[in-house]
Structure 1
Amino acid sequence: MRRARRITLLASSSSSVVRIPPTSLPLQPSLPPVASRPSNHGAAALFCARFVSTSLPPPEWIEPLFDVSGLAHDPNNLMPSPWVGRISDLLRSSPELETDLNDFCGKFLVRLSPNFVSFLLESLDFVRKNPQLALRLFRWAEGQKGYSRSLKCYVLIVDILASSGDLEGIRSLVSEIRDGDFVMTVPASNSLIRSLGVLGMVEEILWVWRRMKESGIEPTLFTYNFLLDGLVNAMFIESAEKVFEVMEEGRIQPDIVTYNTLIKGYCKAGKTQKAEERFKEMEVKYVNPDKVTYLTLMQAYYSEGSFDSCLSLYYEMKEKGLEIPPHAYSLVIGGLCKERRCFEGFAIFENMIERGCKPNVAIYTALIDSFGKCGKEEEAMRIFERMKVEGFEPDEVTYSVIVNCLCKVGRVEKAMEYFEFCKEKGILINAVFYSSLIDGLGKAGMVGDAEKLFEEMGQNKCTRDSYCYNVMIDASVKAGKMEKALKLFDRMEDEGCDQTVYTYTILIDGLFKEHKNEEALKKWEMMIDKGITPTPASFRVLSTGLCLSGKVSRACKILDELAPMGVIPDTAFEDMINVLCKAGRFEQACKLADGIVDRGREIPGRIRTLLINALRKAGNADLAIKLVHSRIGIGYERSGCIKRRLKENLLYKSSHTSKAAAYGCRSNATISSPNWKSFDVPSARGYSGCREVKNELYSDQHCLVSRRGEGSRD
């Protein structure tokens, strides 16, 4: 009787066991069961064992925080539960997470509550930085018996997966939220819209927005800003504008974050003008731009090549006393260096240091590159040495810029020393590095060394790009190795390297210089057939070669073919006529000028001036007189007075003394008059070169008066 009572007390006490969480004890496997002693009461013992084992308490749902304030509950006096540390250690070190969590919770008769899981997802940095670990914990917790899904857990796991860009995983979670019939809250809505907005998941964002409306939740300023950011990231710029208009018309007015987000959208879409309008609107609405606003616009201007606008924003920031971030300095200095305004860039650089903003390797490299391209090799090397003194380690880009700078000024030996230094130090030598050296060696006539470096690139598994091939082909052409250049051209195609317009231009120029005109034309036609658009430089090379080979009509025909493509240089005809004049082919030059008129085009004044000057130097007065009367003068009115003076000057210079004297007698009064400069030059009708012609005639008359004066003294 007494023994039965003892068993009853034991059973009743076991139902109220207090679980003491382990603090620092390591996880150990449970000990094997101890063999029971023989008993005369076997049936009673078996009954007792069954009674005790079936009466174990159910697992307890543990919370992440507990109150240490005593009897009075104080929400500000909550301490992390010791269970948090043990579960954290398990998550950090367990290779088989799910199995170890099951063993741990089974051993200590605990379960992780939704609040506990959300606390882990929110507070443990190593979990937040490991989306797969976080997702495994989230899925394991869902599998616990009696576990009630929490909206907060879903919101946190969506936020973690958004940082890794896991679109499919997020879509699956949002689908579960839809089916879970959760009650939406303001914090949950804002967090979901923000996380989904980072990835531009517009469909999911709009579902959250509709659920908010259905739940009667009024959007806050944060909600609007997160929604706007999501639409901008998805490039729904027009929809973002509509949201902005709703804000302006409603009770929630746009703030600086709203404007910055919309300006970012305009800049991403290439609508810089609209971004400027919003920027100016901010001043009217009394919203002060911050450094993010300026930096966004500066980045857009830099991308468009509008470096002066970038510079003006920098000065505006400086005047307003705003903090100028390092990236803003990089944009301004980089833009000025690209325009070869190296001294202005260096002044901004010095101002940057004075303000306590530390430059980086990229800024130093940009300055060195700019000074090098401007031919200021000494200044570039001084900045390079200063960079090393101030503790900055040059990278492969810096060294490639230094090598390029030295090669451009002909210091190839010094460039090779840096090349060998980089090889010894294990600094990565990229394709730009090799290309700069090959170009420098080729221009120095050291084509053999250039070829060795070119082959070394392939041995070092450094990809040879189009630029590298072009400099090697150019070096071969200049050295007279045309066959080698053509083999390199074929090799480009075999290796899958793009043959650019510059490749064809180099070859066409070389073939024309070797009088291989037909091969040059074949390369031109090959370029057109491949859909490569010619540049003004490539046409200039072609037209020069054709004109010198007497195929002016062919050059004109190609020029007409290029007209619809919009690649004809403004000076195309001027270049062709200049080439013909330098070659002494004046008749062809004049015929080309008349042909331009026949095509219904107007002759610029500089072309007429060019022809007259060329004919003067050649002493071809008869052809010059024909030129005065030819249709090349279309576009302006000519008076007999001007023609007479010009013809007299030409005849005088060509030693037709008697004819010149006859013309001089008829116009002597006008020339000897003190006001000889006051003769009337008729105004042009749509002729931009009239001023050049007038200046030329003034110069001619000065010369003629001087010579007549000398003749009278003799």
Structure 2
Amino acid sequence: MGFVMTMSAANSLIKIFGELGMVEELLWVWRRMKDNGVEPSLYTFNFLLNGLVSSMFIESAERVFEVMENGKIRPDVVSYNTMIKGYCKAGKTLKAMKLLRAMEIVNLEPDKITYLTLMQACYSEGNFDSCLALYHEMGEKGCEVPPHAYSLVVGGLCKEGKCLEGHVVFENMIQSGVKANVAVYTTLIDAFAKCGKMGEAIELFERMKTDGFEPDEVSYGVIVNGLCKSGRLDEAMEYLKFCRANEVAVNAMFYSSLIDGLGKAGRVDEARTLFEEMVEKDCPRDSYCYNALIDALAKCGRVNEALALFRRMEDEGCDQTVYTYTILISGLFKERKNEEAMKLWDMMIDKGITPTAASFRALSIGLCLSGKVTRACKILDDLAPMGVIPDTAFEDMITVLCKAGRVKDACKLADGIVDRGREMPGRIRTVLINALRKAGNADLAMKLMHSKIGIGYDRMGSIKRRVKFRSLLES
């Protein structure tokens, strides 16, 4: 038994099927409308567009939109917003931006939804400049700026370290009558703290409380992190006491900031006490907490304790990161436990953890200081197929050899680099000259500066040979 397809029935069905993601049924209704001679209205088109976009049928939505542009019923702001939303969801932000500009051509004013959709997409892609430009455009056009738009702009500016600019937007938000929230305050406090402006961060933290907002565990965490980074550990510990006394949850970030700060200040036992306290407080320990304590132990010569913690980390199922290995490799070399350091390096590679420039630097410096320069070069060659090519690896090795007074090894390495075509000779000369000067070998630095070593050639009959760096020590 059939039924009569009316405009009202069609609109209701298309809207419902679109919301449920039932695209086949939605298109069936569209075809029945045509069969029954029911002309779609603007609402029908918009319901259809929304249904297609919600189910990510972007190309189909594009075709419907083109029909509207070329037909009797032209797209309105809702139509454009729907297509902009679709493009943004599909990662086609440039196409979405073009639609914004197309609205101006057909004399349609974008609304706050248009701008907010585009700003969210730009923010997600890390394109904070475009996000800021859209915010300014809203202001110029007298368009209402919704609270979330302010949050995106403040967040974007803060991520780029522009805390003062972020603060200006924050004040504009307050003056516009838009109520702030804990998240916006926390973002701005964190930015000030990371810029080293702890006075401003604490002032804003107190203002948040005065304005009637209760700081959460993240807010306390960013304040404590900033205090620890700026060496104000006793103040940071006072915040911990306050949170304990007032039943404010203390998260892993809070603990890792304190553990790291205490560790760097040489207060390793206090750091360890806090680390153990996390178990009592049912606060799961993450890689940051482990790495902070392992770093503190390794740097103060307690490398065996650091290794025990490393094994415990594995037992608890906590990810051992490349940073964990880097800390331990460096610590083991400092304690002259070279083979153990090499075993850790091999373990890291075997586990499929990709080395970083910092991890290779720790390894190469350790090997160079133990007289194994060739081995360091061999490992560097092995890294290339993995896509790890530390830019300053040779410079770091030459510098550390010169500082250790091993100028002969540094020259041998420099010759090896040039012979293998791995670096520009001029750059190596500069590194070696600077390294010699810093190591107190000013005479050799001057000799190298005024010689042909590394850049000139000696002729013996028809044979042309580059002047080697090793000739620096021969005369």
**Deviations, residues 339-362 of structure 1 (Å, cap 9, x unaligned):** 221111111111222222221111
User: Is the CA contact (8 Å cut-off) linking 1:590 and 1:627 kept in structure 2?
Assistant: no
Which secondary structure does the structure 1 equivalent of 2:144 belong to? coil
Which residue pairs with 1:112 in the alignment? none
**Deviations, residues 545-578 of structure 1 (Å, cap 9, x unaligned):** 2222222222222222322333323333333332
| Cα shift at 1:532 | 1.9
Hey, what's the Cα distance between the residues in 1 that align with 2:445 and 2:278?
61
Which residue pairs with 2:85 in the alignment? 264
Which residue pairs with 2:272 in the alignment? 451
Which secondary structure does the structure 2 equivalent of 1:629 belong to? coil
1:491 aligns with 2:312: yes
The amino acid of 2:223's aligned partner reads I
Which residue pairs with 1:200 in the alignment? 21
Which secondary structure does the structure 1 equivalent of 2:50 belong to? helix
Residue 198 and residue 595 in structure 1: after superposition, are their counterparts in 2 closer, same or farther (change >3 A)?
farther
Residue 280 and residue 581 in structure 1: after superposition, are their counterparts in 2 closer, same or farther (change >3 A)?
farther
1:592 aligns with 2:420: no
Hey, what's the Cα distance between the residues in 2 that align with 1:442 and 1:436?
10
Count of residue pairs brought into register by the alignment: 458
Residue 257 and residue 595 in structure 1: after superposition, are their counterparts in 2 closer, same or farther (change >3 A)?
farther
Hey, what's the Cα distance between the residues in 2 that align with 1:367 and 1:511?
40
Quick one: which of 268, 274, 289 aligns to 2:95?
Answer: 274
Which residue pairs with 1:139 in the alignment? none
Residue 475 and residue 188 in structure 1: after superposition, are their counterparts in 2 closer, same or farther (change >3 A)?
farther
| Cα shift at 1:619 | 3.6
1:460 aligns with 2:290: no
Hey, what's the Cα distance between the residues in 1 that align with 2:361 and 2:21?
48
Which residue pairs with 1:213 in the alignment? 34
Percent of residue pairs bearing the same amino acid type: 69
User: Is the CA contact (8 Å cut-off) linking 1:198 and 1:233 kept in structure 2?
Assistant: yes
Which residue pairs with 1:516 in the alignment? 337
The amino acid of 2:376's aligned partner reads A
Residue 287 and residue 613 in structure 1: after superposition, are their counterparts in 2 closer, same or farther (change >3 A)?
same
Quick one: which of 248, 251, 275 aligns to 1:430?
Answer: 251
User: Is the CA contact (8 Å cut-off) linking 1:508 and 1:542 kept in structure 2?
Assistant: yes
User: Is the CA contact (8 Å cut-off) linking 2:425 and 2:455 kept in structure 1?
Assistant: no
Residue 579 and residue 333 in structure 1: after superposition, are their counterparts in 2 closer, same or farther (change >3 A)?
same
User: Is the CA contact (8 Å cut-off) linking 2:68 and 2:75 kept in structure 1?
Assistant: yes
The 5 Å alignment of 1:88-167 reads none
| Cα shift at 1:369 | 0.9
Hey, what's the Cα distance between the residues in 2 that align with 1:518 and 1:204?
68
The 5 Å alignment of 1:277-288 reads 277-288=98-109
Which residue pairs with 1:361 in the alignment? 182
The amino acid of 1:580's aligned partner reads L
Hey, what's the Cα distance between the residues in 1 that align with 2:306 and 2:119?
44
**Deviations, residues 312-344 of structure 1 (Å, cap 9, x unaligned):** 222222222211111111111111112221111
TM-score (norm 1): 0.60
Residue 626 and residue 475 in structure 1: after superposition, are their counterparts in 2 closer, same or farther (change >3 A)?
closer
Residue 181 and residue 366 in structure 1: after superposition, are their counterparts in 2 closer, same or farther (change >3 A)?
same
| Cα shift at 1:624 | 4.1
Residue 447 and residue 586 in structure 1: after superposition, are their counterparts in 2 closer, same or farther (change >3 A)?
same
Which residue pairs with 1:408 in the alignment? 229
**Deviations, residues 38-86 of structure 1 (Å, cap 9, x unaligned):** xxxxxxxxxxxxxxxxxxxxxxxxxxxxxxxxxxxxxxxxxxxxxxxxx
Which residue pairs with 1:334 in the alignment? 155
Unaligned stretches of 5+ in structure 1?
Answer: 1-179, 635-650, 657-714
Hey, what's the Cα distance between the residues in 2 that align with 1:443 and 1:227?
60
Hey, what's the Cα distance between the residues in 2 that align with 1:622 and 1:292?
65
**Deviations, residues 6-60 of structure 1 (Å, cap 9, x unaligned):** xxxxxxxxxxxxxxxxxxxxxxxxxxxxxxxxxxxxxxxxxxxxxxxxxxxxxxx
Hey, what's the Cα distance between the residues in 1 that align with 2:262 and 2:68?
64
- Identify which range, 434-443 or 561-570, moves more after superposition: 561-570
Structure ranking higher on relative contact order (CA contacts 8 Å, 6+ apart):
2
The 5 Å alignment of 1:3-22 reads none
Hey, what's the Cα distance between the residues in 2 that align with 1:331 and 1:344?
13
1:608 aligns with 2:429: yes
| Cα shift at 1:231 | 2.5
Which secondary structure does the structure 1 equivalent of 2:421 belong to? coil
Unaligned stretches of 5+ in structure 2?
Answer: 458-471
- Identify which range, 250-259 or 488-497, moves more after superposition: 250-259
Which residue pairs with 1:224 in the alignment? 45
Which residue pairs with 1:693 in the alignment? none
Which secondary structure does the structure 1 equivalent of 2:51 belong to? helix
Which secondary structure does the structure 2 equivalent of 1:438 belong to? helix
Hey, what's the Cα distance between the residues in 2 that align with 1:275 and 1:224?
19
Hey, what's the Cα distance between the residues in 1 that align with 2:4 and 2:153?
50
Which residue pairs with 1:391 in the alignment? 212
Which residue pairs with 1:249 in the alignment? 70
The amino acid of 2:452's aligned partner reads H
TM-score (norm 2): 0.88
- Identify which range, 358-367 or 264-273, moves more after superposition: 264-273
Structure ID, larger Rg? 1
The amino acid of 1:584's aligned partner reads G
Hey, what's the Cα distance between the residues in 2 that align with 1:626 and 1:340?
41
Which residue pairs with 1:377 in the alignment? 198
1:629 aligns with 2:452: yes
Which secondary structure does the structure 2 equivalent of 1:531 belong to? coil
Which residue pairs with 1:618 in the alignment? 441
Residue 211 and residue 546 in structure 1: after superposition, are their counterparts in 2 closer, same or farther (change >3 A)?
farther
Quick one: which of 378, 382, 397 aligns to 1:557?
Answer: 378
User: Is the CA contact (8 Å cut-off) linking 1:410 and 1:440 kept in structure 2?
Assistant: yes
User: Is the CA contact (8 Å cut-off) linking 2:262 and 2:268 kept in structure 1?
Assistant: yes
Which residue pairs with 2:461 in the alignment? none
The amino acid of 1:484's aligned partner reads E
The amino acid of 2:95's aligned partner reads K
Residue 397 and residue 631 in structure 1: after superposition, are their counterparts in 2 closer, same or farther (change >3 A)?
same
Quick one: which of 306, 311, 314 aligns to 2:132?
Answer: 311
The amino acid of 1:479's aligned partner reads C
| Cα shift at 1:627 | 8.8
Hey, what's the Cα distance between the residues in 2 that align with 1:238 and 1:633?
63
Residue 561 and residue 264 in structure 1: after superposition, are their counterparts in 2 closer, same or farther (change >3 A)?
farther
- Identify which range, 290-299 or 608-617, moves more after superposition: 608-617
